[in-house]
Structure 1
Amino acid sequence: MSAPAKEAGVLRIALADDQALVRSGLKALLGGFPSLQVAVEAGDGQALIDALAATPVDVILSDIRMPGLDGFGLVRTLRERGIGTPVVLLTTFDDEALPLRAAEAGAQGFLLKDASPEDLFEAITRVAAGETLLAPVPTDPVRARFAYRDQAAPSDTFSEREVSILRLLAGGYSNKEIARAVFLSEGTVKNYVSEILDKLGTRDRTRAVLKAITLRII
């Protein structure tokens, strides 16, 4: 059976999760957005890769933990084959090592499994536009919990690279770990962090992350 034709302005999505109920739930959430179309579903990474040969998509949503080829393996295999389709890995974020491992594998983003439909839509559209989300998109309750008292606008806009580094700072990573994830020297990352603090008008990394979350920079 051939895949349905892609509608103009619609992003085609592939879902990979070994739990059918999770896939059904994600599909139902995505169905609430007319600009998104679920074109491929699979229960593991290899099945998804096989399906993509016949049905190209714009964004892949994949669970990290799956039997057989897991989320990390899925991303690595795609990149080794020269397939650059953006991948957003779904995670419960219960292991602080997962985000860095996924970034190193070549994923474009992360999303908490309990994220709101709006956060899910935002993550998909942003990676489809070429952005990189290197930490889970904070949900509204998370933003409210960590609201920072200083909500003054930053002194300048942030580049995509700076936003990526801010997201890794939010994950608690050191300059050395960030440098490895974004393929820069540790000294260059240190300079980026200093520039980020200056733009936000904050004294340290923690305050910078809290203010960035409050202002929806990340």
Structure 2
Amino acid sequence: MPPKRIRVLLGDDHRIVREGLKQVLADAPDIDVCAEAVDGDEVLRQVEARIGDVGLDVVLLDIAMPGRDGLEVLQALRKAWPRLPVLMLSTYPERQYAVRCIKLGAAGYLNKSADPDDMVAAVRKVADGGVYVTPATAEALASVVGGASAKTGPEALSHREYQVFRLLTSGHSVSEIGAQLQLAPNTVSTYRARILEKTGTKNDVELALYAERHGK
């Protein structure tokens, strides 16, 4: 009897990334990318359509997607289908998002530049009910458990505040951030004011220097 194939839904808004990931996973005889989605709402629709008779074993989910981003979709998936493992993908270093993802119930966190063998191993592990944690993620988690990352500075920011914080410190304007996150500019400005207050900075220049000091 042939081994059970792992059915994967791939959620990423960049076609070239999806094609690359599909190629990596296609080399594994026991993994099948059975569906793709380009935004958060489509991920949820695809999961709902496939979770029954068709079957689905793992969701590979990008963090940075238009509209509802990966962490919001992760929360929705965990609420509706708590037994479905979600492996988060990102271009951001582990110290930025890994702990947030694991706390929200992700089965693992993987950088898109990860070695293909690690990618395959991660899918297999979470499909088998495990949690995939890289050494860098394990270190970040240990620092939180040890109290080294108390809720100050970036750790005190909500998820949406952290999104705005990251974009502000990357040089994006309020209007650009609003367009990317699908928020009104005045809403972004409100988030910006909260971020400045929580980080103890007065303007975007100080905020950028703050981000550099904190490795964010």
Identify if the C-alpha distance between structure 1 residues 15 and 178 changes in structure 2 by more than 3 Å, giving closer, same or farther: farther
Equivalent in the alignment of 2:67: 68
Q: Deviation digits for residues 80-120 of structure 1, max 9, x if unmatched?
A: 22432111111223362311111121101011111121111
Structure 2 residue identity aligned to 1:19: H
Structure 2 residue identity aligned to 1:10: R
Equivalent in the alignment of 2:108: 109
Q: Which moved more, 1:74-83 or 1:14-23?
A: 74-83
2:11 is the alignment partner of 1:12: no
- The alpha carbon displacement at 1:127 in A equals 0.8
Cα root mean square deviation, aligned: 2.5
What are structure 2's unaligned runs of at least 5 residues? 151-216
- The alpha carbon displacement at 1:129 in A equals 1.2
Q: Deviation digits for residues 59-86 of structure 1, max 9, x if unmatched?
A: 1111111111211111100112243211
Identify if the C-alpha distance between structure 1 residues 51 and 174 changes in structure 2 by more than 3 Å, giving closer, same or farther: closer
Large movers: runs of 4+ above 6 Å:
none
Structure 1 residue identity aligned to 2:128: A
Q: What is the CA–CA distance in structure 2 between the aligned matches of 1:116 and 1:89, rounded to whole Å?
A: 15
2:86 is the alignment partner of 1:91: no
Q: What is the CA–CA distance in structure 1 between the aligned matches of 2:148 and 2:71, rounded to whole Å?
A: 18
Conserved? CA contact 1:40–1:48, under 8 Å: no
Conserved? CA contact 1:112–1:137, under 8 Å: no
Equivalent in the alignment of 1:174: 144
Conserved? CA contact 2:94–2:109, under 8 Å: no
TM-score normalised according to structure 2 size:
0.60
TM-score normalised according to structure 1 size:
0.60
Q: Give 3-state SS (helix, strand or coil) of 1:83's partner.
A: coil
Kindly report which structure 2 residues correspond to 1:49-60, keeping only aligned pairs within 5 A, or say none.
49-56=44-51, 57-60=56-59
Q: Give 3-state SS (helix, strand or coil) of 2:50's partner.
A: coil
What are structure 1's unaligned runs of at least 5 residues? 1-6, 139-166, 181-218
Structure 2 residue identity aligned to 1:174: V
Aligned identity (percent) is: 32
Identify if the C-alpha distance between structure 1 residues 177 and 120 changes in structure 2 by more than 3 Å, giving closer, same or farther: farther
Q: Give 3-state SS (helix, strand or coil) of 1:90's partner.
A: strand
- The alpha carbon displacement at 1:32 in A equals 0.8
- The alpha carbon displacement at 1:8 in A equals 5.2
Conserved? CA contact 2:102–2:109, under 8 Å: no
Identify if the C-alpha distance between structure 1 residues 174 and 53 changes in structure 2 by more than 3 Å, giving closer, same or farther: closer
Q: Give 3-state SS (helix, strand or coil) of 1:122's partner.
A: helix
Structure 1 residue identity aligned to 2:44: I
Q: What is the CA–CA distance in structure 1 between the aligned matches of 2:92 and 2:83, rounded to whole Å?
A: 24
Q: Which has the higher helix share?
A: 2
